[in-house]
Structure 1
Amino acid sequence: MADAARRSMTPEEFFDWQLGQDELYELVDGHPVPRHRMMTGASMQHDRATVNIIVSLGSQLRGTPCRPMTADIAIRTSIKGLRRPDVMVECAPLVPDTYEVREPKLVVEVASPSTTSIDQTRKVEEYKRHPTLAYILLVETLKPQALLYLRAGDAWEIETFEGLEAVVALPAIGAELALTDIYDGLIFPVRRDLAAEEPNA
């Protein structure tokens, strides 16, 4: 790993190198970075939300040209950059024996305490550069909230969804994600009611 980290790789060289590794890596500015290092702080909450999203999308997209995929498949974000979102959806003929998505429509990043900052800044900007992406969805795990970036021509619009009754519409892939489905089985930290703690005047 030390030798690989010192030299810059192309995505093609990276995929050849990744085959000999025991864990998943991303390619950042031409250098392999262990995905688990970027995921420090990931929890059962993160895993449950990710699985819920895949299950929901999988059932809705069955029989269509679109399909969800896991972080085993990468997305190319630059000439020397590859990321592994928690969930992606591609709507194109299946290409066997490839390690990257060709025509993704949706990427989903499920927040962990250590990744929220990079997911909401650098990664979002990288994903925006991909020509076929229609949606970038950021999902919180400490509260029922999601942030959707949706392509509008040459620009991107942002929508915020809060509360278990909210539903994220994804017409470009013929699906939707209800927050009640995303957060099924998750437990949120109890929020202290500061107003209730204030002494009576």
Structure 2
Amino acid sequence: MADAARLSMTPEDFFVWQRDQDELYELVDGHPVPRHQMMTGASMQHDRATVNIIGSLYAQLRGKPCRPTTADISIRTGIRGLRRPDVMVECAPLMPDTYEAREPRLVVEVASPSTTSIDQTRKVEEYKRHPTLAAILLVETVTPQALLYRRGADGWEIETFEGLEAVIALPDIGATLAMTDIYDGLTFPARRDLASEG
């Protein structure tokens, strides 16, 4: 919708408006922004990693109170903000007619060329505001690397995971994410051998 950016609305107004749209939007500072606009450059690598993460979390959480969700479900990041993470783990009882997570514990953003900077800066800071969120995971797609923000007693701590042997512990939801599972089926561009140059 061409006029969407000129609209200003509350999250409650946004959900009513979103029902009549043909694509998913996020609410940024009270203005709807097409999610696909934020996702320019997303690839099969992005899609495969996202599906792998959902599959791994679903298998581990099946029958437990928490469950993974897709970008269809949003998270409130402020009084005029809603985001749609690639993957989220929601731990509130299921309510069939809601479009918003009530007790999210984990959000995962899978990097695309156009979203890496915003995912690592603005979105992370927005996600940190949510009172029930325990972890924010940023996953790269050009190399097996992930950055985990974990809420601790003294604030947010950062941990980096590199290589396919690493395993990300997520005790707040009773699960782990093995890098081999996240990157199953993905290929990475060959690194140039700098020692052989010059």
Above 0.5 in TM-score? yes
Matches for 1:102-121 after TM superposition, within 5 Å: 102-121=102-121
Compute the displacement of 1:176 (Å).
Answer: 0.3
1:61 aligns with 2:47: no
Question: Paired residue for 1:31?
Answer: 31
Number of aligned positions between the proteins:
198
User: Does the CA contact (< 8 Å) of 2:70 and 2:87 recur in 1?
Assistant: yes
Q: Distance in 2 between matches of 1:154 and 1:95?
A: 33
Question: Paired residue for 2:51?
Answer: 51
Larger radius of gyration: 1
What's the % identity of the aligned pairs?
A: 84
Compute the displacement of 1:153 (Å).
Answer: 2.3
1:91 aligns with 2:95: no
Question: Paired residue for 1:170?
Answer: 170
1:146-188 Cα deviation digits (max 9, x unpaired): 0000000250000000000000000010000000000000000
Question: Paired residue for 2:140?
Answer: 140
Question: Paired residue for 2:71?
Answer: 71
Question: Paired residue for 1:195?
Answer: 195
Deviates most, 2-11 or 119-128 = 2-11
Normalised by the size of structure 2, how large is the TM-score? 0.98
Q: Distance in 1 between matches of 2:192 and 2:156?
A: 35
Q: What secondary structure is seen at the aligned counterpart in 2 of 1:68?
A: strand
Deviates most, 182-191 or 91-100 = 91-100
1:11-55 Cα deviation digits (max 9, x unpaired): 010010100000000000000000001000000000000000000
Compute the displacement of 1:76 (Å).
Answer: 0.4
Q: 1:15 to 1:93 in 2, by over 3 A?
A: same
- For the aligned residue pairs, the C-alpha RMSD in angstroms reads 0.9
Q: Distance in 1 between matches of 2:138 and 2:39?
A: 15
Q: What secondary structure is seen at the aligned counterpart in 1 of 2:107?
A: strand
Amino acid at match of 2:184: D
Compute the displacement of 1:6 (Å).
Answer: 1.5
Q: Distance in 2 between matches of 1:106 and 1:153?
A: 17
User: Does the CA contact (< 8 Å) of 2:7 and 2:32 recur in 1?
Assistant: no
Amino acid at match of 1:179: M
Runs of 4 or more, structure 1, over 2 Å off, are: 1-5
Q: Distance in 1 between matches of 2:4 and 2:42?
A: 26
User: Does the CA contact (< 8 Å) of 2:88 and 2:104 recur in 1?
Assistant: yes
Question: Paired residue for 1:11?
Answer: 11
Compute the displacement of 1:90 (Å).
Answer: 1.0
Compute the displacement of 1:7 (Å).
Answer: 2.8
Normalised by the size of structure 1, how large is the TM-score? 0.96
Question: Paired residue for 1:153?
Answer: 153
Q: Distance in 1 between matches of 2:111 and 2:5?
A: 26
In structure 2, runs of 5+ residues without a counterpart are none
Q: Distance in 1 between matches of 2:170 and 2:196?
A: 39
Compute the displacement of 1:133 (Å).
Answer: 0.2
Amino acid at match of 1:16: V
